[in-house]
């Protein structure tokens, strides 16, 4: 019954929303694929959920490599229901859990890597999440970052605490974020050291035909640092990956990714000067022929049933790239 309903949605819905008549590109953002549901990471799909999502894309949409999709978008000859799959940050589960699923269903993908966290590093937000997970006292003192003391008696309270901390620290400079996290959690050697990929895992993705893109070194909000530092972050991540893979790196993802809020036109222009041919942001919408290939829109899928997932993806084609005026 579920497959019948899904088939009906993917056949009939485009007739009403016009998705089948438009040359538009939907690009999905993922970060992690986790073994099982994690209450402190509720937005991350499990392997089982990612499996049906990729199966759905293969059966009812047209998955394309990002580079090919960008070229065909500009030329106006995208196939119906064109979609790209992307991952941000460089988590180890991209290579160990997501890759086998992508390979089973023949789904191309691009993984954007923040190179400063490879080989045992840990992103600041993961330090917060894992520290809150392991806090056994039931109380967390947030006075070092100007917040109140919070109780951690339930998973819901722990999740709320994490969200409050991340929201407070996110727009600090990379150095200040590290300092603030250290003030909160100290130097806890029990925190996981294997969340991010190793060099070998990045090579593994590349060897499997997955595109590897740059995502800065330290994942700063580019708008919060100097232009010089921003250029260094962008260029150094690309240079590291090109040396590691002995291959050109042509795709870039802006950290956090909201235009004029997290990054500016100057950062887009730096990407152009450095030779990137495509860049992705996080403003929601579908790419159209007039889209800037260095500022393509993306969105995060979150529906937990196949029919709703397919319908939301189909509906996304209606929302033309918001950066393109009068589209």
Residue 233, in any domain of the structure: yes
- 22-51 burial, b at 16+ Cβ within 10 Å, e below that, comes to bbbbbbbbbbbbbeeeeeebeebbeeebbb
* Co-location of 10 and 32 in the same domain: yes
pLDDT of residue 206: 98
**Which of 138, 164, 185 is a domain's end point?**
185
Beta-bridge partners for 144: none
In whole angstroms, what is the distance from residue 66 CA to residue 278 CA? 8
pLDDT tens digits along 153-210: 899 999 999 999 999 888 888 888 888 888 877 766 689 999 999 999 999 999 999 9
Please measure the distance between the N-terminal and C-terminal CA atoms of the chain and give it in whole angstroms.
Answer: 38
* Co-location of 211 and 295 in the same domain: yes
Threshold 0.85, pTM exceeds? yes
* Co-location of 217 and 76 in the same domain: yes
Read off the tokens for 309: 């997932």
CA-based nearest residue to 201, from 50, 90, 85, 45: 90
Residue 101: enclosing H or E segment and its boundaries? helix 99-105
pLDDT tens digits along 280-294: 999 999 999 999 999
Contact between 73 and 94 under an 8 Å Cβ cutoff? The reply is no
Read off the tokens for 233: 């972050």
Percent of the chain residues topping a pLDDT of 90? 75
In whole angstroms, what is the distance from residue 145 CA to residue 168 CA? 8
Confidence of residue 325 (pLDDT cuts 50, 70, 90): low
Q: Where in the sequence is the domain holding 139, given as residue range(s)? A: 124-185
* Co-location of 210 and 113 in the same domain: yes
DSSP for residue 287: B
* Co-location of 229 and 151 in the same domain: no
Residue 325, in any domain of the structure: no
DSSP for residue 43: T
């Amino acid at each position: 019954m579920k497959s019948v309903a899904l088939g009906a949605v993917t056949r009939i819905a485009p007739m009403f929303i016009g998705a089948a008549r438009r040359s538009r590109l939907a690009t999905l953002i993922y970060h992690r694929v986790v073994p099982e549901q994690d209450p402190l990471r509720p937005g991350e799909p499990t392997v089982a959920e990612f499996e049906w999502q990729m199966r759905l894309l293969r059966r009812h949409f047209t998955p394309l490599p990002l580079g090919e999709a960008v070229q065909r978008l500009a030329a106006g000859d995208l196939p119906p229901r064109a979609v790209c799959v992307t991952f941000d940050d460089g988590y180890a589960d991209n290579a160990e859990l997501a890759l086998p699923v992508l390979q089973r269903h023949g789904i191309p993908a691009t993984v954007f890597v923040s190179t400063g966290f490879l080989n045992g590093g840990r992103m600041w937000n993961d330090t917060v999440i894992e520290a809150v997970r392991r806090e056994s006292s039931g109380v967390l003192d947030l006075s070092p970052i100007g917040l109140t003391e919070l109780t951690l008696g339930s998973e819901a309270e722990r999740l709320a605490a994490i969200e409050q901390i991340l929201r407070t620290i996110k727009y600090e400079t990379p150095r200040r974020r590290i300092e603030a996290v250290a003030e909160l959690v100290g130097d806890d050697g029990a925190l996981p050291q294997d969340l991010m990929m190793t060099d070998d895992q990045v090579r593994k993705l590349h060897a499997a035909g997955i595109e590897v893109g740059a995502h800065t070194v330290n994942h700063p909000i580019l708008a919060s640092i100097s232009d010089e530092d921003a250029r260094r972050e962008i260029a150094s991540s690309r240079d590291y990956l090109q040396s590691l893979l002995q291959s050109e790196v042509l795709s870039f993802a802006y950290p956090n990714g909201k235009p004029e809020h997290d990054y500016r036109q100057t950062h887009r222009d730096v990407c152009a000067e450095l030779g990137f041919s495509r860049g992705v942001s996080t403003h929601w919408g579908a790419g159209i022929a007039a889209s800037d290939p260095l500022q393509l829109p993306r969105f995060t899928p979150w529906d937990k049933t196949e029919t709703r997932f397919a319908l939301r993806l189909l509906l996304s084609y209606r929302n033309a790239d918001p950066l393109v005026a009068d589209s």
